[in-house]
Homo-oligomer: A and B are copies of this chain.
Amino acid sequence: MTIQEQNAIPIPQVEARVPVPAQNLRVPGPTTVPEQIQAAQAAPMINHRGPEFSAIAKRVTARLQYFYQTESLVMTYPASGTGGQECAIVNLFSPGDHVVSITIGSFGDRLAKIAVAYGLQVTRIEFPWGQAADPAAVEARLSELAPYRGVLITHNETSTGVTNDIRTLATLVRNLSPDALIVVDAVSSLSCIPLDMDSWDLDVVFTGSQKGWMSPPGIMMIAASPRAWEANKTARLPRFYFDWEMTRKMLAAKWQHPSTPAVSIFYALDVALDMMLEEGREAIFERHAQAGSYVRERAKGMGLQLLADHPNASNTVTAIKTPDGIDTKALLKQLREQDHVVFAGGQGPLEGKIFRVGHLGYFTLSELEQAMDALEKRLREAGFQG
């Protein structure tokens, strides 16, 4: 047999590569990775079963616990934020368990969909996209819905730019149902917006390296309270890759993982945590609060309407309504190609109706200013008066 016959699938012709210009990446994740974190990835590969990796895993874990404000182990998996959603569900519940999903947008819906896919009985408490969950309405509805094994809540809804008052919501769930498992999707909030896992009595909190952590995508982080670990012992949903107990055992024994971790993303996250501690947890919160305020004010100042113009507007992502007569896709294309400013479009029912400005993780206020200046310029050119 000749080599030609062996290779029935020919070598593909690929298109010429187009260099990517320096961009002002203003999407709500993956977020801009600062140069020293980018460079950290380029360190030589190491054995994930050796002492060099264990030292990194131990150091990263301790500092993740600080940002989570938890004494519980923060585990990591090579996965996206959606992996965090699935990891939470499969480790806590058994087929047929009743859970309540409080959803205010696309990612809340996704968490509920995963619960349904795994055979849970899911009741949704939905709020219109752009609104936060109203605690009084949640409380009233939960009282009717008891008993339930868990409550699924999004901290910061990336699709709409709305931050739920998790502390208040968690407190009322705990008062109504002391044993309910409170699952918090903190993918686009943790480290940017205050969240104290232990003192707020949250049971599962997960996030992703590509959001507030200034690192490339590839690592999902998740922590479970003692109550959640107890639930894990009897949770019968099938799982293996995302199983907590296997991970806990390996971390406890050797600071290793059951399967190969994303080593170079660990290098990045390790440096990111250095930078975050140097800046300080409260200073990071303050920078995000300023960013949220700045972007909202600038948008309103140029005559735009916010999807969420209320106290629960997010400090990590702002959703702006596309003005009448403007084509969202064309606007974002123009900004990307001509100004190298990259915004995100809307998802699901909001596609074409909004665009989103990410301001989480690594950014300076001058980058936000440049992005908003470019936006204003392009809108004015298109005839938008506001």
Contact = CB atoms under 8 A, between A and B. Distances in A.
Interface of A is mostly: loop
A217 B263 contact: yes
Nearest to A30: B45
A158 to B, nearest CB: 11
Interface in A1-54: 3, 6-12, 14-15, 17-18, 20, 22-23, 25, 27, 29-33, 38-39, 41-50, 52
A109 interface: no
A307 interface: no
A323 interface: no
Contact of A63 (B12, B31, B47, B263): B12
B33 A20 contact: no
Contacts of A161: none
A146 to B, nearest CB: 26
A140 B12 CA distance: 41
A384 to B, nearest CB: 23
Contacts of A352: none
Contacts of A345: 49
A69 B10 contact: no
A17, A49, A199, A262 interface centre (most CB from chain B within 10 Å): A262
A86 interface: yes
A218 B78 CA distance: 6
Interface string A46-66: 111110100100110011011
Interface residues of A, number: 90
Contacts of A43: 20, 38
A121 to B, nearest CB: 14
Contact of A218 (B33, B69, B218): B218
A177 interface: no
B52 A31 contact: no
Interface stretch (A148-156, A236-244, A371-379): A236-244
A277 B11 contact: yes
A238 B30 CA distance: 28
A217 B69 contact: no
Interface string A254-278: 0000111111110010000000010
A48 to B, nearest CB: 6
A240 B66 contact: no
A108 B41 CA distance: 32
A150 to B, nearest CB: 17
A174 interface: no
A216 interface: yes
Contacts of A208: 260
Nearest to A70: B9
Contacts of A199: 8
A218 B9 contact: no
A33, A71, A119, A217 interface centre (most CB from chain B within 10 Å): A217
Contacts of A83: 78-79, 241, 259
Contacts of A22: 44
Contact of A44 (B6, B23, B86): B23
Contacts of A86: 240-241
Nearest to A80: B259
B69 A9 contact: yes
Contacts of A41: 38, 41-42, 216, 264
The 6 closest A-B pairs by CB, nearest first: A82-B259, A12-B62, A218-B262, A80-B259, A216-B264, A41-B41
Given A11-B66, A38-B43, A81-B260, 14 more contacts: A6-B69, A6-B282, A10-B66, A29-B260, A30-B260, A32-B45, A38-B45, A41-B41, A42-B42, A82-B260, A86-B241, A113-B240, A218-B262, A264-B264
